[in-house]
Amino acid sequence: MHPIASDVFDTTGAFFNAGRWHSPGSRVVYAAEHVSLAALETLIHAGGRKIPPRSITRIEIPEAASIEKAPWVEMSLGDSRDFGGLWLEEMRTAVLQVPSIAVNRMESNYLLNPAHQDFARIRSAKPETFVFDLRFFGVAAIS
């Protein structure tokens, strides 16, 4: 999920900040398999802080695009960053499917490699505003 009015394929945040599957200095885009997983991942990274309205965008990865599925072998943070860094460096695929720890590896997140030739096939829809339900932050919802 991105702040409102940002480019869905912007790699600035990943470039300056490490993630589970990359080190700083990497150009990568993180996406979630489902809207609910994107919301949950955003809440986890917010550390309990109230989140202002964001935008969410449907991304279409065509069947012809190359996708690699990352294995999970109780990787440490360093191991998963090394794996993702090597995936980016070797330009193995445009998309890396990775298990989400937030939901006990039952759903996936996707890393997109903008430098890969197949990335040009990936499309995004128009961003939509996403407002978090205030109950996530201990505020009663108005009915």
pLDDT tens by residue, 72-100? 766 688 889 999 999 999 999 999 999 99
Is residue 140 included in any domain, yes or no? no
pLDDT at 6: 57
Query: Contact at 8 Å (CB) between 17 and 85?
Result: no
Is residue 32 included in any domain, yes or no? yes
Is residue 138 included in any domain, yes or no? no
Look at strands 95-99 and 108-112 and give their pairing: antiparallel
Is residue 77 included in any domain, yes or no? yes
Q: Residue 4 pLDDT more than 50?
A: no
Q: What is the pLDDT of residues 12-25, one digit of tens each?
A: 999 999 999 999 99
52, HSE (Cβ side, Cα atoms, 13 Å): 4
In total, how many domains does the chain have?
Answer: 1
The pTM of this model reads: 0.84
Enclosing domain of residue 23: 2-131
Q: How many whole angstroms separate alpha carbon 69 and alpha carbon 126? A: 27
Q: What Å distances lie between residue 68 and 11, 22, 113, CA to CA?
A: 20, 15, 11
DSSP state of 15: H
Is residue 70 included in any domain, yes or no? yes
Burial class of residue 76, CB neighbours in 10 A (0-12, 13-18, 19+):
exposed
